Structure 1
């Protein structure tokens, strides 16, 4: 089972799962990017760069090159090796948005959708467990609040991520994150400044 928990200082999340869970997630991600035919569409190359970085971290986790633990943090009765990796909230939210946008150009099945829904469920749970007050304003960004078709989505993620890191983490920074993410919403004043 995949699951997500917040990092200690609230900079982001830890994504955990057994090898098979991470491998399945990696394969689902791989279906929705790096396609030469689709790369001609506006912004596709930029989304590919974002999803590629995201996919790289999942691959490194499943290949035992990131975080490791011997049992499931949330369900200690489940034995076995758990592997994980860390993402900032910003990187994770933008990556999921780009991935979901790309999914509309490909054939999807119930398994693909279930994996994405599982990730969304655990992401929301991680937000609430870190800070319910901040999560209330952040959860809408999971459900297509960010503009996945943004032709500069990778650059938008990078600048937002930098600004978030400069806030230094903690609940105060977490509560400011929705304001920073406005640059990823189509037609907001913040997104127009990037154009």
Structure 2
């Protein structure tokens, strides 16, 4: 079964599993992601969010990320493979998965994988900071607008602002306010979108075709 814990600086989550856990999760993610057309403007952002996570899961079970022995008792030592993921990325991912799962043909294993992923997220949130997690948990699978065709660009903007803050519990507890600030009807979002439209005009392209190239270094 998947295991989880917060990263050292509280920037995100570490997800761990054996080869079977991770390949099963990968298959579930792809079942859901296959219904999205990456070449369709309205679906590309959600597809990018799902496929970005699938990439990390694949890299993990291909032994290209982290490896560690988990000791459950004196007779049970299991080698697990893992990877790190931002809280903000994971919250958006879970909302995208939950919505699109309703339109995909899934079996019991797929449903279990989704429940375990959500459980792992909630557990790691509370392991890091119960006070902050009390508010953040309300964004697990809800309260996040994933239907905006600029959803992937919005998430990039959130991540850059999040990573630009000093790591710690204060930043962690600010996640709900950051998510709300980028909701479609907020003044901050309208200003952000106006800036993106100006950038797209200068680059002579559509807004959804641009991206950020100034990601801060991630201090996990």
**Equivalences, count:** 192
Report if aligned partners of 1:39, 1:45 keep a CA contact under 8 Å in 2: yes
- CA shift in 2, pair 1:76/1:189, >3 Å: farther
C-alpha displacement of 1:193: 4.4
Structure 1, residues 102-123: CA drift from partner, whole Å, max 9, x if none?
A: 2222222222221111111111
Q: Corresponding residue for 1:23?
A: 23
Selected match of 1:80 from 72, 78, 81? 78
Shift of 1:151: 1.4
Corresponding residue for residue 207 of structure 2: none
Superposed CA offset, 1:121-173 (max 9, x none):
11111111101111111001103121222211111111101111011211010
- Work out whether residues 38 and 48 of structure 2, in 8 Å CA contact, stay in contact via their aligned partners in 1: no
Q: Which moved more, 1:8-17 or 1:174-183?
A: 174-183
Structure 1 segment 1-195 matched on structure 2, within 5 A: 1-35=1-35, 38=37, 43-72=42-71, 75-76=72-73, 78-183=76-181, 185=183, 187-195=185-193
Q: CA deviation at 1:42?
A: 5.9
What runs of 5+ residues in structure 2 fail to find an aligned partner?
Answer: 194-220
* Greater C-alpha radius of gyration: 2
What TM-score comes out, normalization by structure 1 length? 0.89
Name the CA shift for 1:93/1:126 in 2 (closer, same or farther; >3 Å).
Answer: same
